[in-house]
């Protein structure tokens, strides 16, 4: 995911990506040979749908001006600007290597930025992408939830010997997007679905109780576009504050802003 984000920051979708000897990788590949070329857009499909490690290396080397190391440096710079304190990249494909590590929270942050990029969000919700060639490339998603779990629209699987089977998932329901991360799982589909179900249940809207006379509802969102009725919550947990000009009311629940 970070490889794709950084590639889009430094190149255009129509730029030509060329495979070299350094693109050779195992075990998950799209079958690039030295000298093969694809547009960055098509190469991103190969990177993100079947998790092509050779695609990651080809992208990094081409976009990095012939230097995979330069590209990996950009990945770490991006991680730093995002505040990913438990992440460090040593390569662009994610295979096990000394000094290459991350956390579930940091992956979720990358996934959030990833899904905010329209091109990348479009790619990972695509079950199949064909490049006529020659040679012919057919990329199919390895995401077990796409087309199966209601609202699933991404993102990506992963596997290494050290990390096990992993899945970054995204799904949208009732206008709410949930992103979940599964690491080292014997069944990423089951665990991914369970996490999404739990997250949607926790994110479901709940009424809050009127704390004091005079507050029947509050308006939240940009320009007060949505009204939240205050019914059904225990007063000791809820505090309300209204600005002096009476234009804005903020609510906090257990110390966390909710509207």
The b/e string for 181-219 (b: 16+ C-beta within 10 A; e otherwise) is bbbeeeebbebbbebbeebbeeeeeeebebbeeebeebe
| Residues β-bridged to residue 165 | 159
Contact 188, 166 (CB under 8 A): yes
The per-residue pLDDT for range 13-46, each reduced to its tens digit, is 999 999 999 999 888 899 999 999 999 999 999 9
Residues facing residue 249 across a β-bridge: 242
34/21 Cα distance (integer angstroms): 5
Q: Which residues pair with 172 in a beta bridge?
A: 177
Whether the pLDDT of residue 116 is over 50: the answer is yes
pTM for this prediction: 0.79
Q: pLDDT by residue (tens digit) across 51-82? A: 999 999 999 999 999 999 999 999 999 999 99
Rounded distance between C-alpha atoms, residue 193 and residue 180, angstroms: 9
Task: Tell whether the model's pLDDT for residue 187 goes beyond 80.
Answer: yes
Domains of the chain (ranges, CATH numbers): 2-131+140-203 (3.40.710.10), 217-257 (no CATH)
Peptide bond into 215 cis (omega under 30): no
pLDDT, tens digit (0-9, with 9 covering 90-100), for 199-237: 998 877 655 444 444 445 555 555 555 555 554 444 444
């Amino acid at each position: 995911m970070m490889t794709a984000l950084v590639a889009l920051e430094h190149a255009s979708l129509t730029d030509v990506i060329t495979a070299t000897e350094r693109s050779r990788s195992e075990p998950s590949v799209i079958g690039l040979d030295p000298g093969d070329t694809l547009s960055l857009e098509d190469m991103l499909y190969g990177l993100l749908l079947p998790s092509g490690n050779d695609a990651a290396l080809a992208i990094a080397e081409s976009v990095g001006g012939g230097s995979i190391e330069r590209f990996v440096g950009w990945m770490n710079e991006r991680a730093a600007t995002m505040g990913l304190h438990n992440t460090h990249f040593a390569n662009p494909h994610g295979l096990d290597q000394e000094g290459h590590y991350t956390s579930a929270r940091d992956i979720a942050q990358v996934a959030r930025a990833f899904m905010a990029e329209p091109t990348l969000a479009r790619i990972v919700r695509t079950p199949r992408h064909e490049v006529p060639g020659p040679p012919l490339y057919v990329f199919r998603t390895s995401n077990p939830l796409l087309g199966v779990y209601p609202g699933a629209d991404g993102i990506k699987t992963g596997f290494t010997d050290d990390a096990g089977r992993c899945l970054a998932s995204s799904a949208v329901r009732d206008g709410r997007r949930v992103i979940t991360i599964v690491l080292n799982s014997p069944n990423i589909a089951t665990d991914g679905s369970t996490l999404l179900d739990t997250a949607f249940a926790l994110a479901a809207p709940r009424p809050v109780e009127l704390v004091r006379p005079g507050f029947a509802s509050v308006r939240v969102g940009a320009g007060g576009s949505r009204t939240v009725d205050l019914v059904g919550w225990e007063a000791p947990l809820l505090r309300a504050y209204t600005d002096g000009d009476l234009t804005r009311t903020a609510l906090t629940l257990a110390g966390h802003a909710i509207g």
